[in-house]
Amino acid sequence: MLYPSLVTIVGALVNGNVNFLNIAHVGILNAAAPHLISLGMNKTHHTNIGIREHKTFSVNILSQDQMAAMDYVGLVSGGKTDKSAVFETYFGELKTAPLIVNCPLSMECRLYDTYELKTHDVFIGEIVATYADEVVLTDGKVDLAKVKPLLFDMSSLKYWTLGQAVGSCWNAGKQYKKKE
Amino acid sequence: MLYPSLVTIVGALVNGNVNFLNIAHVGILNAAAPHLISLGMNKTHHTNIGIREHKTFSVNILSQDQMAAMDYVGLVSGGKTDKSAVFETYFGELKTAPLIVNCPLSMECRLYDTYELKTHDVFIGEIVATYADEVVLTDGKVDLAKVKPLLFDMSSLKYWTLGQAVGSCWNAGKQYKKKE
């Protein structure tokens, strides 16, 4: 019940074809170099084959306006349906991790490790490059109010939007201390 | 840049004392039994000592109304400041994972594994029990609109609220298919 979690579109090259799927069981492992993130992906997913083969993948954060396409790539398997045209794509530094054109925020990842579970491959990726669309920046920083990411919740099986910024981290608690 | 991420309050018993801290670098590893989640925790944190000692911890999802207390336990270290009275606590099945009274949603975790990084302990916990406050349930299910969780963003260093439910998972994409 660690929800909501961020909806990401994971891209990989599978048997020479660009493929994408919707993964919200993601995680941030650290806040230091190498910057590592995790994707908990059921072993039945077609995309896993490409990640194992090329040891690269992309993680794309799309806007809530693209919910239909985001959900669609989670509805159909790349093993049966060619999803390569759902998004316009390009390749970056790693050459084998398909990135989405005009995506608010994309990361290219090198497979750092695979944490194997019985049912899931937990792919641990090192972020080697991050691409932000200029339109989501404010003063040179990614502005989530402009990204408008989608969030996932297993309890309601709904997608949720992000609300408002309501306080400053490592600051809002100073108010608590004063109350003591 | 895998933000926003969910703000959790992690509880552990450290040298016999209840301690809590604020961790938003969390992840969901799978969607199958055993249900595993990850906490990426800098090795400098006092709480890590307790998790290593008892091999148990709690993960508590508090409401945005408790932002000051949530931020406060991330501002001060349990090594210097006794944080045991910030929240009213109780123990559940595991006996050594302090849980927060009247918390919207709490999970008791058994330490399943530790994925060691140079700077961080990534604690992988198996969820052995989940406690939901009745007031956050709708038709017996956790309702995030009632939980009102806080989200974290490293770019703005702000806490964000959750917005609205805007679509159904494994459903919203059917609309995309029709458009093809």
Task: Please provide residue B179's backbone torsions phi and psi, each rounded to the nearest 5 degrees.
Answer: -70, -20
pLDDT at B107: 98
Residue B5's nearest CA partner among A134, A45, A169 is: A169
Partner-chain residue, chosen from A71, A130, A175, that has the shortest CB–CB distance to B1 = A130
Mean pLDDT over B82-101 rounds to 97
| Inter-chain residue contact A32 with B117, CB threshold 8 Å | yes
Contact A145, A122 (CB under 8 A): no
Q: How far is B27 from chain A (nearest CA, A)?
A: 4
Q: pLDDT tens, B41-59?
A: 999 999 999 999 999 999 9
Cα–Cα distances in angstroms (integers) from residue A39 to residues A1, A77, A145, B44, B46, in the given order: 16, 17, 24, 25, 28
| Inter-chain residue contact A173 with B105, CB threshold 8 Å | no
Q: What is the 3-state secondary structure (H, E, C) of B83-118?
A: CCCCCCEEECCCCCCEEECCCCEEEEEEEEEEEECC
Partner-chain residue, chosen from B71, B117, B168, that has the shortest CB–CB distance to A167 = B71
Q: How many CA atoms lie within 13 A of A96 on its CB side?
A: 14
State how far the Cα of A62 lies from the Cα of B15, in Å rounded to an integer.
Answer: 44
Q: What is the residue-wise DSSP string for A29-93? A: --SSSSPEEEEEEETT-THHHHHHHHSEEEEEE-BGGGHHHHHHHHHS-TTTS--TTSS-EEE-T
Mean pLDDT over B14-26 rounds to 97
Predicted confidence pLDDT, tens digits, chain A (180 residues): 899 999 999 999 999 999 999 999 999 999 999 999 999 999 999 999 999 999 999 999 999 999 999 999 999 999 999 999 999 999 999 999 999 999 999 999 999 999 999 999 999 999 999 999 999 999 999 999 999 999 999 999 999 999 999 999 999 999 897 555
Mean pLDDT over B68-87 rounds to 95
Q: pLDDT tens, B113-166?
A: 999 999 999 999 999 999 999 999 999 999 999 999 999 999 999 999 999 999
Q: How confident is the model at residue B109 (pLDDT cuts 50, 70, 90)?
A: very high
Supply the DSSP symbol for B82. -
Chain centroid, CA B142 distance in Å: 15
Q: pLDDT tens, A36-66?
A: 999 999 999 999 999 999 999 999 999 999 9
Contact A151, B43 (CB under 8 A): no
Chain A residue with CA closest to B29: the answer is A40
Supply the DSSP symbol for B64. G
Q: How far is A137 from chain B (nearest CA, A)?
A: 10
| Inter-chain residue contact A157 with B170, CB threshold 8 Å | yes
| Inter-chain residue contact A177 with B61, CB threshold 8 Å | no
B8 contacts on A by Cβ (under 8 Å): 2
In degrees, to the nearest 5, what angle opens at C-alpha B65 toward C-alphas B59 and B68? 75
Cis peptide upstream of residue B34 (ω within 30 degrees of 0): yes
pLDDT at B153: 97
Cis peptide upstream of residue A34 (ω within 30 degrees of 0): yes
pLDDT at A138: 97
Mean pLDDT over B21-26 rounds to 98
Q: How confident is the model at residue B178 (pLDDT cuts 50, 70, 90)?
A: low
Q: pLDDT tens, B57-66?
A: 999 999 999 9
B175 contacts on A by Cβ (under 8 Å): 68
State the DSSP H helix or E strand holding residue B126, giving kind and residue range, or none if neither: strand B120-132
Q: Is it the case that residue B1 has pLDDT exceeding 90?
A: no
Structure tokens at B140: 């017996």
| Inter-chain residue contact A32 with B61, CB threshold 8 Å | no
What is the pTM assigned to this prediction?
0.96
Residue A25's nearest CA partner among A137, A119, A105, A102 is: A119
Buried b (16+ CB within 10 A) or exposed e, B31-67: eeeebbbbbbbbeebbbbbbbeebbbbbbbbbbbebb
Residue A159's nearest CA partner among A86, A81, A69 is: A69
Task: Please provide residue B112's backbone torsions phi and psi, each rounded to the nearest 5 degrees.
Answer: -90, -35
